[in-house]
A and B are shown apart, each in its own frame.
Chain A
């Protein structure tokens, strides 16, 4: 077998050199991080009065002044990091005033320059901050950077930044079309990016509903769920019959916000093929207190999906005495053992809860009435004693 001791010695040398490089690189990262953190703390102490001033005068009408003297690049970065945190936490006029201050501090200009850097990490950092600073002058550069590269993880960071800075509907339209045509991402991720925009995208989403590519339709439906509710187009009813599960589910979800659903519609959606939609409607009926649908909810207690059945029972409980009586009827009725057991469970739980919460006269009256109903349906039932 080939053995060359000289090569072995060389190899030991190479390994030792690589080890030294790795150790030095790791230690320099550690020390650099510590050094930067120390400088950051010192800088914050130095500018504490100024940051206090900004906080105290945030609600006033006068333009916030910038700190006296010129700032070093490092100081600018530290202040930027603090102010961006505040911008992300605040909205309305406070955010607006902070954004104007950041402009006055030259942060937008500074980051626009960095956006042209040849280092990807610097470009990305600049894009992130320009987005946070809602700098409209950066939108076209951000979109250009986005279009230049293959869609990968960092594309979504650029896309978010572009959505944050966009001031024209056409810019958002271009951005979304690019992501849909070129990316493989979940449509929900694209929808989440649209939430970054301060524009009203309703019209854009409605346009998407008529596109052939189902990805646009899905985005339109999901986007409309987040939008300020306009009159929903008739197209949504059509989409509930789509072959695409996601499309029909999202269309049904959107319809819940519509006030003009007929009893036939509700019946249709409570028997929808997708259990998520059935559950959604069952929950919605309970939440909205629509007692006229109690018989429909009662039928859902026999649903093959456990979550739908439970959601229906929970909604019946939310509907007061009428819902409670419907549960009692189900518990002693001729339905499946599963449905009867579920009804009994919710009845007992509701009685227990109402007994515990009997601090007001109305609560006591409600509890007494439920007890009366219970006795009516389950005379001398042992469980009642246990529940009480």
Chain B
């Protein structure tokens, strides 16, 4: 028994080392790409483009469910974007709060029957469209509750332009985010079917009129962990994955898509979370099935700021949702592409990596941990060996975090202060002592929810963007 536990414990350790090694390889791809990104970031003429009529018009889709606290600022920030031609389509997904009333009052919107909505993709019943000619680029769609994917599909049905951008209602775009992503799209419009933006954590930042005016690190523990986590995922991971055209997700918080292909793959899949990953896998599959040249890219200098959950309850709900969505996507789409050479990088690397090292990771990690624990109780002499392996995993994980921080410094420098850098290193290390384990447990619980067919959204509480100001005023 002791040998079996040792064997399994060591196997689990190798498993984690392998994940880290693959991730390190991906980071190396990110480093390969970063020089090009630096050139684009520093020398591309965004100011000229933002005043030019030559950029493609974009329909911005904003699904909103119970967003009364943040929606006003978000819509204002979208309307203030530096972009020549765009429309903002907010889709109220049967909110139980005052999301609809808040927007109607704020923008003096008037009701119109929904006869201008096309029925390209089936959605829950649309009750009406609100509009005010004084805000000619703003539309508010009011519909029965059907979920985020359903709302995006309703937005597509109303949209007038051939490019659509999905943006979360709790996110703020930087002024030039759209123009940066549009420039990337324009470099290869035939092949670029989707481009993701870079999502950063806004907690702690000073926000004014729906814009991030001063970048600060979060003050609270959980958002701070998520800041370093996002940096690693977006800069260390997505730059590299996009370099080999193996990106499996364009964050729902901010991405731009070619509408034509989103419609061709049937629109967003409803009923389950993870629609952002689902649409990307479907796009890969469609393009590869039809042997069409394509690229799903990532534009790290197009930045979207989002609110990170700051309580265990909300974060737990989010991570369980992600776990559920990931499992569903792998069962529904991933298994058809797994290890099939026809699907190139997606079939031979991205999907296998995702299934083996993301979807199944909670099982290997939790059982591996239990095996190590069991073995250690039976034979205290094994502690040293286990300790070495654990140390390797912590150091390896920290190295990946440090690599992402170096990428950040090379191309973006959003956190210039040295003490911020050390704070981020500290949290990169601290992550391995509780936070990561909790994340794995939440993902596992998400799988249990999936098996039990529990498909609720869970806890989701928004706080006002002006929370600090509100508090000051109250004081």
Q: Which residues of A contact B (CB under 8 A)?
A: 1, 3, 5, 8-9, 11-12, 15-16, 18-19, 22-23, 25-27, 29-30, 33-34, 120-121, 124-125, 128, 152-154, 156-157, 160, 184-186, 188-189, 191-192, 195-196, 222, 275, 305-307, 310, 314, 338, 341, 345, 349
A-B contact count (CB 8 A): 124
19 pairs, CB–CB < 8 Å, chain A vs chain B: A1-B14, A8-B392, A15-B395, A16-B395, A22-B399, A27-B421, A29-B410, A152-B36, A152-B187, A153-B36, A154-B40, A184-B187, A184-B191, A185-B187, A186-B187, A192-B55, A338-B115, A345-B110, A349-B133
Q: Which residues of chain A are near B10, meaning CB under 8 Å?
A: 1, 3
Q: Which residues of chain B are near A18, meaning CB under 8 Å?
A: 399
Q: Which residues of chain A are near B133, meaning CB under 8 Å?
A: 310, 314, 349
Interface 9-residue window, one of B146-154, B269-277, B351-359, B400-408: B400-408
Q: Which residues of chain B are near A16, meaning CB under 8 Å?
A: 395
A11 touches which of B11, B36, B116, B392 (Cβ 8 Å): B392
A340 CB to nearest chain B CB (Å): 12
Whether a CB of chain A sits under 8 angstroms from the CB of B475 is no
The residue of chain B having its C-beta at the shortest distance from the C-beta of A222 within the complex is B54
Asked whether A188 and B409 contact (CB < 8 A) given A1-B10, A26-B402, A121-B38, the answer is no
Bound complex: CA A310 to CA B7 (Å): 72
Determine whether the beta carbon of B402 is less than 8 Å from that of A19.
yes
Q: A157-B39, A192-B48 are in contact. List 15 more A-B contacts (CB 8 A).
A: A5-B385, A12-B395, A15-B399, A19-B395, A22-B406, A120-B35, A121-B39, A153-B187, A156-B187, A185-B189, A186-B56, A189-B54, A275-B160, A310-B133, A341-B113
Number of B residues, CB within 8 Å of A: 54
The residue of chain A having its C-beta at the shortest distance from the C-beta of B40 within the complex is A153
Q: Which residues of chain A are near B115, meaning CB under 8 Å?
A: 338
Determine whether the beta carbon of A188 is less than 8 Å from that of B395.
no
Q: Which residues of chain B are near A15, meaning CB under 8 Å?
A: 392, 395-396, 399
Determine whether the beta carbon of A192 is less than 8 Å from that of B36.
no
Whether a CB of chain A sits under 8 angstroms from the CB of B43 is yes
Asked whether A192 and B54 contact (CB < 8 A) given A22-B399, A120-B35, the answer is yes
Q: Which residues of chain A are near B49, meaning CB under 8 Å?
A: 192
The residue of chain A having its C-beta at the shortest distance from the C-beta of B183 within the complex is A189
Bound complex: CA A16 to CA B421 (Å): 18
Determine whether the beta carbon of B43 is less than 8 Å from that of A124.
yes
Q: Which residues of B contact A (CB under 8 A)?
A: 7, 10-11, 14, 35-36, 38-40, 43-45, 48-49, 52, 54-56, 110, 112-113, 115-116, 133, 160, 183-191, 385, 388-389, 391-392, 395-396, 398-399, 402-403, 405-406, 409-410, 413, 416, 418, 421, 425
Determine whether the beta carbon of B405 is less than 8 Å from that of A26.
yes
Bound complex: CA A345 to CA B110 (Å): 10
Determine whether the beta carbon of B392 is less than 8 Å from that of A12.
yes
The residue of chain B having its C-beta at the shortest distance from the C-beta of A22 within the complex is B402
A277 CB to nearest chain B CB (Å): 13
Determine whether the beta carbon of A5 is less than 8 Å from that of B388.
yes
Bound complex: CA A361 to CA B74 (Å): 42
Determine whether the beta carbon of A27 is less than 8 Å from that of B39.
no
B11 touches which of A1, A19, A307, A345 (Cβ 8 Å): A1
Determine whether the beta carbon of B43 is less than 8 Å from that of A157.
yes
B35 touches which of A3, A121, A185, A195 (Cβ 8 Å): A121
- Which 3 pairs across A and B sit closest by C-beta, in order of nearness? A306-B116, A188-B54, A186-B186
The residue of chain A having its C-beta at the shortest distance from the C-beta of B110 within the complex is A345
Q: Which residues of chain A are near B189, meaning CB under 8 Å?
A: 184-186
Bound complex: CA A121 to CA B42 (Å): 10
Q: Which residues of chain A are near B409, meaning CB under 8 Å?
A: 26, 29-30
Q: Which residues of chain A are near B418, meaning CB under 8 Å?
A: 27, 30
Bound complex: CA A19 to CA B416 (Å): 20
A387 CB to nearest chain B CB (Å): 13
